[in-house]
Chains A and B, each alone.
Chain A
Amino acid sequence: MTAPRPAAGAPRTYRFPDFERHVLPNGLTVWLVPLPERELVNVHLLSDAGAAAEDEAQAGVAALTAQLLVTGTRRLDAAAFAGTTERLGIEVSSESNWDSARAAFQALSAHLDAGLGLLAEMIRTPRLDEREFERIRAERLNDILQARADPGRLADESFLRHVFAADVPYGRLSAGTPETVGALGATDVQRFHATRYAPNVAHLILAGALDRDAALAAVERHLGDWSGEAPGHRSFTTTARGGRRVVVVDRPGSVQSELRVGHPGIDRHDPRYFPALVMAALLGGVFGSRLNRRLREELGYTYGARCAFDPRRAVGPFTANAAVQTEVTVDAIRELLGQLARVREAPPEPDELAEVRNFLVGVFPLRFETTGGIAAAIEPLAVYGLPDHWWREYRENLEAVDPAAVHRAALELVRPDEALILLAGDAARIRDDLEAAAFGPVEVVTAEAALSR
């Protein structure tokens, strides 16, 4: 009754949209991506003001500064700033990660000029007052409390805390600890803003329904006379705390163990970027990946198992994760480690590799369906200085990854013998089995202890 499986039609070509780049006299780099037939425009302003730029004693100042920016300008207080932007249908966001801070909005094209004016006002003359600072800081401290109670967040943050050597910034909680956040004052945020938000280290990305000349004129009008100079980013190298070991973050009564297994991975400029990407997808990046197939579809231990690299300016983590039923914690760890070992044993079969590579190549146009997706695609070019042809050559680079390259990437970049095995779970129910399994020395810590060092 059923018709036979159909053959695919002829593919239509897809090109990443053309973009242009201008550097204003004050050093601001402007990226324009005009997209005809769109209603919306996305504006992302990136500053070299991520957590990597902060001192350890002030951990959290980058995140607090980014969050505080949206609470008003010298001209408009918090309520007025929110009201003025939202009346245009604009919600301004401002957040930071390790390598940059991003202030952004999306708007119907008619509001581009007004929105850009408000964004510029926010970046250049933020209010950063004591009263709103106190509020945002208290909310951040409460969020740390909430994170400790949430097993997934607790495991994520504890893992980073334990996987890197003590002096590596990436081991800090990127939004700070209760101690460092509690010690920050509004003047710290004002100083961080004054020294880190400046045109010479900033990039403005505009993508969507825009007229090139009008958009450039608007940028010059609102940001052309923005002055100031900030130092470039800090560089550091990352090292692992080292040695295979097991850390249990005790969460009595947990019905699952939130498992994180990994070690330092690659940085954003690693020449093995594409082999690493394909290898991680094959191991734990697609539904039929080895980890998910084994732990979920064969064993039913978890709702999902996956792994990924998190490449940053310096070497970021490689992590495999799954939330597994408490009773099968040890077996799940054994299976997971087994898959990490297996990917090192031999190159993948060509069919298995083709499936994963075709996925990564084929979803390429879907990633850029929205104006926001295209603006986000420009970000790594701006933040990491990737070449302009990055997206044009992206699919060719993926297609060049052969079984030998995957195997080489696995041998060099997946190291189960050095992996930190961290789990947030019920220590009383799993500790003895973990000891007996001899994955490595077992340490049991409280949530509080796991998040300090």
Chain B
Amino acid sequence: MAQVPIERRVLDNGLRVVLSRDPRAPAVAVNLWYDVGSKHERPGKTGFAHLFEHMMFQGSANVEKGQHFSLVQAAGGTLNASTWLDRTNYFETLPAHELELALWLEADRMASLLPAMTQEKLDNQRDVVKNERRWSVDNQPYGDWDERIQALVYPEAHPYHHSTIGSMEDLSAASLDDVREFFATFYAPNNAVLTVAGDFETDAALAMVERHFGPIPANPDLPSPPDMTVEPSIGEEVRETVPDRVPLPRLYLAHRIPPFGTDAFDALEVASDVLASGRASRLYGSLVREQRLAQDATVFVFPIVGGASMFSTWVTARPGVAPEKLEAALLAEIDRLAAEGPSDADLERVRNLHGSHHASSLERISERADRLSMYTCLFDEPERVNAEVTRYDGVDAGRVSEALREWIRADNRVTLTYVPAEAQS
């Protein structure tokens, strides 16, 4: 497997810079991770990190509203941003000769967002984000599953207890003062990672980075990270039934597991693939193809680092299949894998699928840049991108069954069952 080249620098203001050169195509990716996500939000301010991300496209000292998008697109580039539990990322992919444009745009808003902020822009983006919530959560069948699951898996005081999209009430309450404070607190070079991947000359790229980001002052008073301490296990079985406008019942199972980056997490990632990646997976073979109880089966682990992660499963019942029956069949498959461990054929299959997926993902310079930012932001170790395959392949059958037995148990489980609303009562 080809290795991703990595060069690191740290500017005097604390900005961590990662360069990964690949001159095969005349394109370059710029990716910034700010070490701020919805876990940094305080009570009453849910959804703010994401709303703030929208404000980052409303202009800065030298950029008009909407111009960030239009300048990058007119240069033949693509761009976006996203907010999640641990972080907020901003990214552009452009023709190689437009690298400096992206650096300048990112630096301008890191340095000088506030002069461009107005109440009108905040009100507009608040409406946009509320419509994003309506579209992705409130008007979607099963749309609030992750919000419900997070609230049940993490205790109320834990920063993962609430969703990234946040509540309508809290979005309504967000003010320009909140924007100013959030910017001053978190949007500083010593709270960010900048990755450049693709076609560039290293010295020239470093000079551009220094020119645009070097003068931005650090925040000497970065707050200490939120307290993510949480009991390793939930400690009891938690169940919730949700009558909803859905045609088929669906079960969501979630377990509290060790965070991303740990050996146990790796073992559970392999377990998730044995269970549900591909048509030769255990759950697809058993629940979908043979027993025909389920319409689909999905398992995944969340790459999050704050205290505990989640091992999540969902299965949609076929018409006429009682959720209890589906749940029993699902748990039987998980328990069987925990008891017996994966076979050599299971492991060969998931390792080769993982290797193909890894190579496929890293074909894109944007994905390479994002992973380098992620590993630097979360672990201060971009080299982890080159260890993904060996870490995965190093998980043996014993580690899979041990991790399943330790973490995927009834007293560490949330079961959320969506049922068609008419069928209730």
Contacts and interface: CB of A to CB of B under 8 A. Distances in A.
Interface of A: 1-6, 8-14, 37-40, 70, 78-79, 82-83, 85-91, 106-108, 132, 135, 138-139, 142-143, 145-146, 148-151, 253-256, 286-288, 293, 296-303, 323-325, 354-356, 358-359, 361-366, 369-372
B252 to A, nearest CB: 16
Interface of B: 1-2, 24-27, 61-62, 65-66, 69-70, 73-78, 93-101, 103-104, 107-108, 111-112, 123-132, 134-136, 138-141, 199, 208, 211-212, 215-216, 245-248, 278-280, 284-285, 288-289, 292, 295, 316, 318-319, 345, 348-349, 352-353, 355-356, 359-360, 363-365
A91 B232 CA distance: 36
Contacts of B98: 8-9
16 contacts: A1-B215, A2-B107, A3-B211, A8-B97, A8-B100, A39-B2, A79-B280, A79-B285, A83-B345, A86-B279, A145-B319, A298-B124, A303-B129, A303-B131, A359-B73, A363-B78
A82 B316 CA distance: 21
A145 B280 contact: no
A82 B360 CA distance: 20
A367 B140 CA distance: 31
A9 B99 contact: yes
A312 to B, nearest CB: 26
Given A146-B247, A325-B134, A87 B348 contact: yes
A268 B286 CA distance: 43
Contact of B359 (A108, A142, A298, A361): A108
Contacts of A369: 25, 27, 363-365
- Most A CB contacts (10 A, CB to CB) among B126, B292, B363 go to B363
B73 A300 contact: no
4 nearest interchain CB pairs?
A: A362-B76, A300-B127, A89-B352, A9-B97
Contacts of A138: 292, 318
B27 A365 contact: yes
A8 B128 contact: no
Nearest to A362: B76
B159 to A, nearest CB: 26
Contacts of A323: 131, 134-135, 139
B76 A86 contact: no
Contacts of B74: 354-355, 358-359, 362
A149 B247 contact: yes
- Most B CB contacts (10 A, CB to CB) among A2, A40, A146, A364 go to A2
B392 to A, nearest CB: 12
A362 B75 contact: yes
A88 B365 CA distance: 25
B212 A287 contact: no
A12 B134 contact: no
A371 B212 CA distance: 35
A7 to B, nearest CB: 8
Contacts of B101: 5-6, 8
Given A108-B355, A293-B66, 16 more contacts: A2-B107, A39-B359, A40-B360, A70-B279, A86-B349, A87-B345, A89-B355, A142-B316, A145-B319, A146-B295, A298-B124, A300-B124, A300-B127, A324-B131, A356-B73, A365-B27
B241 to A, nearest CB: 18
A361 B73 CA distance: 10
Contacts of A10: 97
Contact of B280 (A86, A151, A358): A86
Nearest to B65: A297
Contacts of B136: 303
Given A89-B352, A149-B247, A288-B66, A362 B77 contact: yes
A260 B386 CA distance: 45
Nearest to B130: A325
A358 B76 contact: yes
B100 A6 contact: yes
Contacts of B125: 300
A112 to B, nearest CB: 12
A151 B363 CA distance: 34
B301 to A, nearest CB: 20
B70 A288 contact: yes
Contacts of B124: 297-300
Contacts of A356: 73
- Most B CB contacts (10 A, CB to CB) among A40, A86, A148 go to A86
Contacts of A3: 104, 107, 211-212, 215
A89 B27 CA distance: 29
B369 to A, nearest CB: 13
B139 A255 contact: yes
A244 B62 CA distance: 45
B408 to A, nearest CB: 23
Contacts of A296: 128
A387 to B, nearest CB: 24
B280 A82 contact: yes
B96 A145 contact: no
Contacts of A299: 124, 127
- Most B CB contacts (10 A, CB to CB) among A87, A89, A355, A371 go to A89
Nearest to B97: A9
Contacts of B363: 38, 40, 369-371
Contact of B360 (A143, A150, A256, A370): A370
B280 A365 contact: no
Contacts of B94: 362
Given A89-B356, A369-B363, A287 B139 contact: no
Contacts of A143: 295
B100 A287 contact: no
Contacts of A135: 288-289, 292
A302 B124 CA distance: 10
- Most A CB contacts (10 A, CB to CB) among B27, B111, B216 go to B27
Given A39-B359, A135-B289, A362-B77, A2 B131 contact: no
B113 to A, nearest CB: 11
B131 A301 contact: yes
Contact of A325 (B65, B131, B319): B131
